Amino acid sequence: MASATLKIFLVFGDPKRLRIAELSNWTGKAVAGPRNEIEKVFGREESTNSGVYFLTGVDPVTNNPAIYIGEAESIRDRIKGHLGKDFWNQIVFFVSKDENLTKAHTRYLEGRLIEIAKLADRAVLMNSQISGSKLPESDREDMEIFLEKMQQLLPALGVEVFVPTISIQAKEEKRELLICKIKDILATGYLTPNGIVVLSGSKAVLHERDSAKKYSGVLAYRHKLIDEKSLIEQNNTLVFTKDVEFSSPSAAAAAIHGGSANGLLAWKTQDGKPLKELETI
């Protein structure tokens, strides 16, 4: 993505309350706010415009992050129809400052955003049906640029469900491969801006150590990976069936070791240097 200057206006001075966000040299604008202040969001003139919106919260069934992605000719009117859904606690919506987003544009953006969210697989999609819209080539290219700008802004507004586990930048850049080993169990991975990715084919111990019982998060996440078949039993070990991103090296090492582990010491370069030494300034 191209570099850009981000401006976020805190309407009430609080970064968790109503925010207006813009990027330099872009006609788009984002409005974000908490559900308990939805009347203040509705009070914004931008809410009467056409655009795309995101309702974010937690799925009550899985307790995982959840998102609803939609589009509307009037954001405010459409959101009123979502007040019966209780999973969401934050709203973010995007409009065009030159009011140049047509129904076909917003439907195209909605479809593309659902596609991207499915690929990223970071949240439960509360609506997974892709409507989409066919656009002339020139309009489609304009909307792809609009989409790119949205993806730059969304993480700054607390919406990270569109960030791919393995970013394009990570694929293009040369990354240092790290190794986490316990006895004959070997896992490989690399650092990312969000933590660390453990690569498909890596192995983890089959049985948790007693120390894992003191760390419920270790057990819970391992069991989640097993339930969703991201970790499967094979030859008395567990094997990662896909690349999995963890929030920290220690979280990844704990899942691999089956108990508590210091990721800064457990993860090493291929020549044996601990991650802790790599981060020494």
| Tens digit of each residue's pLDDT, the chain (281 residues) | 678 899 999 999 999 999 999 999 899 999 999 999 999 999 999 999 999 999 999 988 877 899 999 999 999 999 999 999 999 999 999 999 988 899 999 999 999 999 999 988 888 999 867 666 789 999 999 999 999 999 999 999 999 888 876 544 445 456 789 999 998 999 999 998 778 999 999 999 999 887 777 767 777 888 889 998 999 999 999 999 999 888 899 989 999 998 888 999 999 999 999 988 886 55
Q: How far apart are CA 130 and CA 132, in angstroms?
A: 6
Give yes or no for a contact between 151 and 122, defined as CB atoms under 8 angstroms apart: no
- What pLDDT shows up at residue 215? 66
Q: Tell me how crowded residue 136 is: count the other CB atoms within 10 A of its CB.
A: 9
- What pLDDT shows up at residue 256? 94
pTM score > 0.85 for this model? no
Domain ranges of the chain: 6-157, 168-278
- What pLDDT shows up at residue 174? 62
- What pLDDT shows up at residue 168? 44
Please name which of 169, 170, 178 lies closest in space to residue 279, comparing C-alpha atoms: 178
- What pLDDT shows up at residue 169? 46
Give yes or no for a contact between 162 and 120, defined as CB atoms under 8 angstroms apart: yes
Please name which of 65, 173, 76 lies closest in space to residue 123, comparing C-alpha atoms: 65
Please name which of 90, 17, 94, 29 lies closest in space to residue 55, comparing C-alpha atoms: 90
